[in-house]
Amino acid sequence: LVVFEGVSKSFGKLQAVRDISLSVHEGEFLTLVGPSGCGKSTLLNMTAGLFPPTEGSVTYRGTPVEPYNHRVGYMTQSDHLLHWRTVAKNIAVPLEIAKMSRGEIKDRVDELLELVGLAGFGENYPNQLSGGMRKRCALARLLAYDPETLLFDEPFAALDAQLRLRMQMEIRRIVAQLNKTVLFVTHDLDEAVSLADRCVVFSGRPGTISEVLDIPLPAERDLFSIRHNQKYA
């Protein structure tokens, strides 16, 4: 679905992503895990088409990715909710842009609120919600675009451990229910492994992948062993 071929990205002298080749399969939940600064967000930004690679190509269904296309939905680390609009009105933004009728918008928003577990909170304002509820709201708004593929950049980093566990289960339920393809960035190895169908582990060297793991993991496998082969089918 998404294919990275020999992708590198430099910012001036700094090489943030180094010669990465990787295919994302339709319907899979792929996690990307690695230390701060290893190039995870840069890879997501290129997947969203926000900037092009310096070398190599990123294609989506065989064509170069384009920015702001609604096949790919991107949830960055901050949720960017509009604080002057209610939860329901936040979720309605993409639907208003799509010029849906009022009645259609209401039905769709109700459906999304139900899906993310926010039924009954549509008339609240974002600052009346807990951190987890704000994440749910941001997720519902993202889903309102009905993207095929979802990109998440450390969506649960700011949540406490218990809430994070709950949101992990919820997100798996929701993407399975909607049959989405997911690229999910985290620096938490436990989270990466418990969520994923496959897990891409970045190495200590900036911008390079050390392993791509099929989950469930064989217990004896050494997660941190670095392989220098960067090519993965």
Which positions lie near ligand ATP, rule CB under 6 A?
11, 14, 16, 36-42, 187
Question: Which of Mg ion, ligand ATP, none does residue 11 bind to, with CB < 5 to 8 Å depending on kind?
Answer: ligand ATP
Smaller CB distance to Mg ion: residue 41 or 168? 41
> Least separation, in Å, of the C-beta of 84 and ligand ATP?
29
Compare residues 41 and 210 and give the one whose CB is closer to Mg ion: 41
CB of residue 53 to ligand ATP, shortest distance in Å: 13
Looking at beta carbons only, is 16 or 201 nearer to ligand ATP?
16
In the bound state with Mg ion, the residue whose beta carbon lies nearer, of 8 and 124, is 8
Quote the least distance from Cβ 155 to ligand ATP, whole Å: 12
CB of 38 to Mg ion, least distance (A): 9
DSSP secondary structure letters along the chain: -EEEEEEEEEETTEEEEEEEEEEEPTT-EEEEE--TTSSHHHHHHHHTTSS--SEEEEEETTEE--TT-TTEEEE-SS----TTS-HHHHHHHHHHHTT--HHHHHHHHHHHHHHTT-TT-TTS-GGGS-HHHHHHHHHHHHHHT--SEEEEESTTTTS-HHHHHHHHHHHHHHHHHHT-EEEEEES-HHHHHHH-SEEEEE-SSTT-EEEEEESSPPTT--TT------B--
Question: Considering CB distances under 5 to 8 angstroms, the limit depending on partner class, which of ligand ATP, Mg ion, none binds residue 16?
Answer: ligand ATP
| Interacting residue ranges for Mg ion, rule: CB under 5 A | 41
